[in-house]
Amino acid sequence: MDKSYKNVYITTPIYYVNDVAHIGHAYTTIIADMLARYSRLTGLDTYFLTGTDEHGQKIEQSAKQRGRTPQEYADEISGKFRTLWDDFDISYDKFIRTTDEEHKIGVQKAFETMYNKGDIYKGDYEGFYCVSCETFFTEKQLVDEQFCPDCGKPTNIVKEESFFFKLSKYEDKLIKWYEENEDCILPRSKKNEIVNFVKGGLKDLSISRTSFDWGVKLPESINEPKHVMYVWLDALLNYITALGYGNKEENMNYWPAKVQLVGKDILRFHAIYWPAFLMSLDLPLPTHIAAHGWWTRDGEKMSKSKGNVVNPKEVADAYGLDAFRYFMLREVPFGQDGDFSQKALMDRINSDLGNDLGNLLNRISGMSGKYFDFKVNSVDVEKFHKKELDEVNEILENVESYIFNMQLNRYLEDIWKVLTIANKAIGDYEPWAKMKEGKTEEAMALVALITNIMAKVALLLDSVMPEKISKIADSLGIEINTDTYNKLIVNKELLDETTITKVEQLFPRIEEVLLEQASTADVSKAEPEEKAKAKIDQKKENDEESDNLITIDQFFETTLKVGTIIEAEEVPKSKKLLKLQVDLGEGKNRQILAGIKEFYDAKDLVGTQACVVANLKPAKLMGMLSEGMLMAARDENGLSLIRPETPKKSGTKIS
């Protein structure tokens, strides 16, 4: 571990209290918890922050719909987040809420500092605003001239007096920071997206609202009582107000942050707005801003309507918290999207945890008990097993480099290589045969080799599975602390004489899935009354539309053709759109933007056919031309493209 820095500050995003925690929230928090636990184990002074984001128009509206005050609603949801993290034994040092008075004071201090520096000015804002995403968009970014490119919901045209932050002033400084700090944004592929966005030009950012009241008021020195701060300015500043910025500043020695974890959907706010705010405040920038991917379930995007949202508490209760933590960290490379399935989780438990880890501990207990009355010493390990020790030490020299480069799955993969060495050694050297031959020293050396490997692995897995590893440590007679870490990992030493204790089976085999997937009907019953009413109203509207009959001539005004999809790719910054090149038999392909990303992977569409409205007037979506529309059907089970029953020649008319 790099000891050039003494303090390590780890942050999760503060979670928006518009809904209860889901698997994505758990994923981020488990990663942060692993980093914090590992840092503490290596002897670093560590501070770990998480919390909730509780202001904004969306929260005000959600509270009103439920007949609650915004504070009452925020208290309830924030409390559920905190309870879950406590149930998950998340080792946070502070749980911040943006409704905390200390936070508000710090935010007002930051606003005042930036205002006095000349980085904030008053003006008028007019533009498109998505309440759901709490984000502004230009007309070019919208889908079909009115819908949010991220969530697909209608935007509102907002026109009001506003204060602006001079984001454009920091464009060149941001580019310089990206260029001089190779790993400031992880993974690097995400960094390229941010750099390209900034090079496209930055506009000044509207940072106050007058159309609602649920937010942090501007400082009294500004004398603008009708303004509240834009939720993203308020929220981002939590990372320093949590350390006392603008107040006692008792923990500001932890700044700058070592790792700030975010989901990929909020990377732009953290990798552009946040460093610009810090530059304005003359504060150093974080070492790493790390953006992870999203989780699907059994290959499908999660949604309440599908009834396939993963409840992390239910999974942890059914399969074990440590097994759930291991699965989340091992299953997918950081930055990529992951897929949750009970089968994949069971495979990890039965194979990795049960066979490789748990069974190895059982073999240590069995061999030491049978041959040596559970007493193990390492005096002859190097004499008989230098080759295996060298292999283990070589692997473990490199694993630590994966931690703050956010290559956590590779970290675990290499630890499992070490377990493979241990399991293989038992088969290669057969201690039972050594004992029959009277080679007691060699048998002891082998048992001690396996015990030492398990002890080293336990130290490195403590941050991943703390509850199970504490039992392994008890069994081996070791303590999980910095002294043991330095002895076995840093200095590559071996255990002194130790006594093995039997423990219960840590990872019993699981033969059948333990959770039922909620049905769509069950989810619908649980929906708030206003949502159910909205669905009924929509059904009535659809029924009324069915009576809007057209003539055969009107129908034939629409040209429908069979198209072959030649190329398909995702549209950056859009949660719904795929960009397709479609052959309609016209000699050149047409570009069609289709809102089907949540139901189809781009790579799976190439070479398939679909029915296309071919005489639709071309339109611009997110600044790109769309020359047609794919036909699809959608119900409570999802969306499906309308396709010919058997392949047809591209351009074949549908009649």
Does 575 lie in the same domain as 441?
no
* CA separation for the pair 15, 19 (Å, rounded): 9
Element at 555 (helix H, strand E): helix 552-556
State mean pLDDT over 384-397.
96
CB proximity list for 475: less than 8 A, separation 6 or greater = 361, 364, 365, 500, 501, 502, 503
Q: State the chain's mean pLDDT as an integer.
A: 89
Does 443 lie in the same domain as 382?
yes
At 185-232, the pLDDT tens digits run: 999 989 999 999 999 999 999 999 898 889 999 999 999 999 999 888
Higher-pLDDT residue of 30, 7: 30
Q: Is the pLDDT of residue 136 over 90?
A: no
State mean pLDDT over 61-73.
92
DSSP 385-420: HHHHHHHHHHHHHHHGGGTTTT-HHHHHHHHHHHHH
Does 393 lie in the same domain as 329?
yes
- 3-state SS assignment for residue 65: helix
At 341-355, the pLDDT tens digits run: 999 999 999 999 999
Q: Is the dihedral of CA 477, 31, 513, 526 positive or negative?
A: positive
Q: Which amino acid is at 125?
A: Y
Report yes or no on 518 lying in a domain.
no
pLDDT at res. 495: 97
State mean pLDDT over 294-322.
89
Residue 286 and residue 38 in contact, taking contact as beta carbons nearer than 8 Å: no
Does 554 lie in the same domain as 412?
no
pLDDT at res. 158: 76
At 606-629, the pLDDT tens digits run: 889 999 999 888 887 776 889 999
Report yes or no on 258 lying in a domain.
no
Strands 578-583 and 590-594, sheet pairing: antiparallel
Q: Read off the pLDDT band of 147 (50, 70, 90).
A: confident
Does 369 lie in the same domain as 461?
yes
Report yes or no on 238 lying in a domain.
no
pLDDT at res. 337: 94
Instruction: Please identify, among 499, 529, 558, the residue that sits at the C-terminal boundary of a domain.
Output: 499
Q: Is the pLDDT of residue 565 over 50?
A: yes
Q: Is the pLDDT of residue 554 over 70?
A: no
Report yes or no on 577 lying in a domain.
yes
Does 576 lie in the same domain as 476?
no
Q: Is the pLDDT of residue 575 over 90?
A: no
Instruction: Please identify, among 437, 464, 499, the residue that sits at the C-terminal boundary of a domain.
Output: 499
* CA separation for the pair 381, 366 (Å, rounded): 19
Give the residue numbers of the binding site for Zn(2+): 130, 133, 148, 151
Report yes or no on 468 lying in a domain.
yes
* CA separation for the pair 111, 165 (Å, rounded): 10
Report yes or no on 219 lying in a domain.
no
Say which CATH number the domain at 463 has. 1.10.730.10
Does 365 lie in the same domain as 460?
yes
Tell me the residue range of the domain where 610 lies.
550-641
At 481-507, the pLDDT tens digits run: 999 999 999 999 999 999 999 999 999
Residue 368 and residue 500 in contact, taking contact as beta carbons nearer than 8 Å: yes
Instruction: Please identify, among 461, 477, 499, the residue that sits at the C-terminal boundary of a domain.
Output: 499
Q: Is the pLDDT of residue 635 over 80?
A: no
Backbone phi and psi for residue 550, each to the nearest 5 degrees, phi listed first: -125, 165
pLDDT at res. 78: 96
Does 427 lie in the same domain as 325?
yes
Q: If you ran DSSP here, which 8-state letter would residue 141 be given?
A: G
Q: Which amino acid is at 589?
A: N
pLDDT at res. 528: 43
Does 615 lie in the same domain as 469?
no
Report yes or no on 364 lying in a domain.
yes
Does 460 lie in the same domain as 572?
no
Q: Read off the pLDDT band of 648 (50, 70, 90).
A: confident
**Which pTM value belongs to this model?**
0.77
Backbone phi and psi for residue 248, each to the nearest 5 degrees, phi listed first: -80, -20
At 47-56, the pLDDT tens digits run: 999 999 999 8
pLDDT at res. 142: 79
Q: Is the pLDDT of residue 4 over 80?
A: no
Q: Is the pLDDT of residue 541 over 50?
A: no
pLDDT at res. 521: 33
Name the domain count of the chain. Answer: 2
Does 455 lie in the same domain as 570?
no
| CA angle 37–504–27, rounded 5-degree value | 35
Q: Read off the pLDDT band of 537 (50, 70, 90).
A: very low
Give the residue numbers of the binding site: 130, 133, 148, 151
Say which CATH number the domain at 590 has. 2.40.50.140
Report yes or no on 563 lying in a domain.
yes
Take residue 212 and report the two structure tokens written for it: 């609602």
